[in-house]
Structure 1
Amino acid sequence: MARQTAATPAISVTDCAYSRVLEIVSSKWTVLIIFALAGGAQRYGELRRRIADISQKMLTQTLRQLERDGLIKRTVMPAVPPIVEYALTPLGETLLPHIRQMKQWTTDYYPLVEQARKEYDRENAQK
């Protein structure tokens, strides 16, 4: 275990803001919705088609949470039936470079993670 020094402060689960942000961005649906909205506003049905395997319930819950967190804006346009669009807010757009960087890391390094898992499983299967 690494020894804590003044240069490496402890990370605490009780650090409310940090924990809350991790809760937000650790959801695969959050990240996929943010990516889907990176190109501009979209309607609910468009989002559902773009995000494979997301259920209606999860899409609705995640959109509501992202709206509550100030990361997306829901706009209802007067029409019959009403047209509802979702778009990233300026705050939501600030996450894009970080999420893109994580995606690039995944592209560059996930094969090494898979390799490490196989080696670990092979070594530990004999125990």
Structure 2
Amino acid sequence: MLLVLKHHTCVSKNKEKCGSSINSMNVGEYSLLKTYTNLLQSILNLYPRMEKLIECQLVKDALSQIILKHCKPLKIFSRMTWIAVMFLAVFMVFFLVIWTIRACQDHSRHHRSDCPV
């Protein structure tokens, strides 16, 4: 793919020398595309090794031990965090209602004092 794109890459920094072709790209765009392509190819090259690692019994045993021993406390702490966030949300709604009522009372008090009657 990069060989095909290299033919459409303008090596000159002057846009007028490159022409006004929509299909041409500058050297910076080409090098960025080349970097991304190389990165993706590296990931694809690592995939077979990672697949072998997942099939390894040692890794499966380690993951099962983590799930059995560490997920229960994680569930407890996530539930405690959820309860704390819900309590904070209820408190903030209550506080907002009280604040709105107080603002309405202050607003009505100021308008009465401005009244000439």
Using structure 2 for the length normalisation, give the TM-score. 0.31
Higher helix share: 2
Higher strand share: 1
